[in-house]
Chain A
């Protein structure tokens, strides 16, 4: 996977399977400290200690259709490749938090890529999970929250395609704005 947003999409599928009703995706970019941090937090059913300890093992999976599970291993590798690190914490019936630390300017740090595509696909998930997305770029912040959007939409579903198109634009412009203002 050559984009961090692809990893985010992949990791969030775990949250969806864990019956989360809210996924929080927080990105913290700090170019002065050379940090790029991604936090993915859900309120799903979590994992017990035994599962948690084996989850980064590529030959561990809970699914029955195949014998390998690469999602978390690949994300961990992507972070470690940039001299970063990876932490996963989980508590049963409370949720799971994944934090990946990257070196911002490392040559192997993949670009974020089309996060708006990732977000639109997450919104189209069957369970109607709420998504909170926060992107910090040095001291600027962009926030997108499906709960806020739902208030505006009233009875129109979030999955209406014209709404999805608006969401994609909103996120794309939002991130461009926080990064642009910084360079002025």
Chain B
């Protein structure tokens, strides 16, 4: 099977990468993936995170689907965790994902346009 050979190549390349990977303080991205999130478009949002992170080879960022925090009306909700800091974004779109990656995860500046405080205090 040709594609399994491709997978083996990916494995070999990844094995080389692991040795270079340090124990970096990572960024965790949590995407609400309950019924409310999914209906509001959380799947393409999460997919966008995965694709962008893969494209940029950002080894220290992990993206994980999570449940619902009870604010279903302002889904899709995305939380970005860096060390002790937790930022909650809501009504996240695919365009917002790009901004969160560029301005927040890479640039270190919270994207004020999507933070939950704009909708809930």
Contacts and interface: CB of A to CB of B under 8 A. Distances in A.
A160 B62 CA distance: 9
Nearest to A163: B10
Q: Is the interface of B mostly helix, strand, loop or mixed?
A: helix
Nearest to A7: B38
B65 A124 contact: yes
Interface residues of B, number: 36
B3 interface: yes
B63 interface: yes
B54 A6 contact: no
Nearest to B12: A156
Given A1-B39, A164-B50, A152 B65 contact: no
Interface in B39-75: 39, 43-44, 46-47, 50-51, 53-54, 57, 62-70, 72
B86 interface: no
B14 A65 contact: no
Contacts, number: 96
Contacts of B35: 10, 69-71, 74
Interface residues on A, range: 35 or more
- Secondary structure at the A interface, as helix, strand, loop or mixed, is helix
B11 A152 contact: yes
A118 interface: yes
Interface of A: 1, 6, 9-10, 13, 17, 63, 65-66, 69-71, 74, 114, 117-118, 120-122, 124-126, 149, 152-156, 159-166, 169-170, 173
Interface of B: 3-4, 6-8, 10-11, 13-15, 18, 33-36, 38-39, 43-44, 46-47, 50-51, 53-54, 57, 62-70, 72
